[in-house]
Amino acid sequence: MSTVTITSTPQSQPQPAVAPLRIGPAKAARHSLALAGRGITKFIKSPARLVDVVLTPIVFLLMFVYLFGGAIAGGDTDAYLQMITPGIMVMTVFQASIGIGVSLNADASTGIFDRFRSMPIARSAPLIGAVLADVVRYVVCLGTLLALALVMGYRTDTDPAAALAALVMLVGFAVSFSWLSVYIGMLVKTPGSVQGLMTVLVLPLTFASNVFVPDRTMPGWLQVWSDVNPVSLMADTMRGLLGGGEVAGPLLGSLGWMAAVVAVFAPLAMRAYRKSAA
């Protein structure tokens, strides 16, 4: 009688979950800068991406100075140019910050974020890198606007250090508010939705400010809002740094808004980005 030996095959045991890769702040910063360099390279290879930030300041400055400036300033377009140029600088970089949310939303549909998540890099690096790369757009926007304003007759009344501080503040303002655009870009389904929602948010802030007209010409209730509006505060900061006048009060208000927006929307954007991977 033959015997049959039955060999039992051990059942496969469940593998322990692999802990997520922990990356320190220094490495996360390097990863973010590397991805920022990738974004800047994209701008260099495709200058058409910068068309909007070149044309927008040109159109707005020419339109408001020569079409509306005479009526608003009583015919003195030169004086109106001095008043509105710092405000237009704020408005154009603020509107340029919409582009980062649109771009990231479009990238999400290509699967590039899935590739980033499979790489041993900080989870925050793709978003931070994209925000840093967008600084190129703000610099191009401000350079175009300043060049045109100088040709039209705009002049600063402060020293170069104050003018440089004004430009740094403007870039910081745009970077701070770009986190709002990034957050919306991580939430909605299409780039067009990002554009529409951000426009609804940006336009009231811009036009209910002192960018185009002095506060004293507004109704009392609108003056109250304009006094705390981040666009008004930044416009007053620019006027003080570029043309002389009070700087401390508007500067502190602007920095407060910038810090609050980053503190609220940067973590929300990171959370939405991580949730999209689930």
Task: Find the mean pLDDT for residues 238-251.
Answer: 91
* pLDDT greater than 90 at residue 181: yes
Start-to-end CA distance of the chain, whole Å, equals: 59
Question: What length does the chain have?
Answer: 278
86 lies in some domain: yes
Q: Does residue 101 fall inside a structural domain?
A: yes
- The 3-class secondary structure across the chain, one letter per residue, is CCCCCCCCCCCCCCCCCCCCCCCCHHHHHHHHHHHHHHHHHHHHHCHHHHHHHHHHHHHHHHHHHHHHHHHHCCCCHHHHHHHHHHHHHHHHHHHHCHHHHHHHHHHHCCCHHHHHHHCCCCCCHHHHHHHHHCHHHHHHHHHHHHHHHHHHCCCCCCCHHHHHHHHHHHHHHHHHHHHHHHHHHHHCCCHHHHHHHHHHHHHHHHHCCCCCCCHHHCCHHHHHHHHHCHHHHHHHHHHHHHHCCCCHHHHHHHHHHHHHHHHHHHHHHHHHHHHCCC
Structure tokens at 120: 């041993």
Q: Find the domain containing 64 and state its range.
A: 27-275
pLDDT at 73 over 90: no
pLDDT of residue 42: 81
Within a domain: 144: yes
pLDDT (tens digit per residue) in 139-148: 999 999 999 9
User: What integer best gives the mean pLDDT of the chain?
Assistant: 85
Q: Residue 18 falls within a domain, yes or no?
A: no
Percent of the chain with pLDDT over 70: 91
Residue 205 lies in a domain: yes
Number of domains in the chain: 1
**Alpha-carbon span 157 to 239, nearest angstrom:** 10
Is residue 196 domain-resident? yes
Q: What is the pLDDT of residue 49?
A: 78
Distance CA 256, CA 250 (A): 10
Give 85-131 pLDDT, tens digit per residue: 999 999 999 999 888 988 888 887 787 777 887 788 888 888 999 99
CB contact set of 220 (below 8 Å; sequence gap of 6+): none
Query: 199 lies in a domain?
Result: yes
Nearest to 185 by CA among 53, 94, 273: 273
Residue 267, in any domain of the structure: yes
pLDDT of residue 265: 95
Task: State the pTM of this model.
Answer: 0.85
Residue pLDDT, tens place only, 9-44:
444 444 443 334 567 778 888 888 888 888 888 888
- pLDDT of 169 higher than 90: yes
Residues 6+ apart with CB under 8 A from 23: 31, 120, 121, 122
Return phi, psi of residue 10, to 5°: -60, 135
